[in-house]
Amino acid sequence: MLFLKNLFKKGCKTDFTHSMVGKVSDLSRPVTGNSVHARALTSNELVELSKNPDYDLTHSVAVEGVAQNANRHCFATFNDGVVSAYIFIATGLVTPEMNSAGSGFGGIGMILPANVMYLYKGFTLPKYRGQRQVNIAVVAGADALVDSSGWMISTVESNNAASIKMLENVGLHRQDQLKEYRILGKSFYRIPEVVKLGSVGNENNEPVNLFTSHLETSIS
């Protein structure tokens, strides 16, 4: 029995994430001065930003994440002309690779209704942390991509307290937990049947299932 337990531990990896949801109308909207504003970044600007190691942004994310996908967007906050923070937002289809714990995990994808957007990456330069710079970029992205009745969703590792706090400050709230088990090279999932998005639903006003797994294998 002990041998089997040890074998299971060695052959099993887990990824637990929270889905976090908020109404666009409820997002935190910090008061900004004349020297602070936010807007979408162009593909060329993203490529240039990726060349600066201070921004923790790879060239592949910058180019493949926005330039080659019309449903992916990057918004940045500027302080006196300097990018102080940025976020990535997706609409429509969210691929499993965008919502994955990394190497060895299949990831969990989403199919988003027209008035829902997915926040999947955010970063603030160290000297601007604690000043809600991400919030400013989030509001700019939300206002540009959906109307005031829309929703924002994100996912975050269950043990990442800092990111959970940041998303709560933005105005998102924890809901369901998503689980992926990687066992002997195969992925198994526990995925909530729906994400509770208030009035968001299909033409019959039924809740929309946003989540799809990378593989068909699942745990009921």
What would you report as the CA-atom Rg of the chain, rounded to the nearest whole angstrom? 18
CA angle 75, 76, 81 (to 5 degrees): 145
Ranges of each domain in the chain: 11-213
Q: Once rounded to an integer, what is the mean pLDDT over residues 124-150?
A: 92
Tell me the β-bridge partners of 123.
Answer: 86
**CATH assignment, 11-213:** 3.40.630.30
* 184-205 pLDDT per residue, tens: 777 787 877 655 554 444 444 4
pLDDT band at residue 181 under the 50/70/90 scheme: confident
Mean pLDDT of the chain: 81
* 157-166 pLDDT per residue, tens: 888 898 899 8
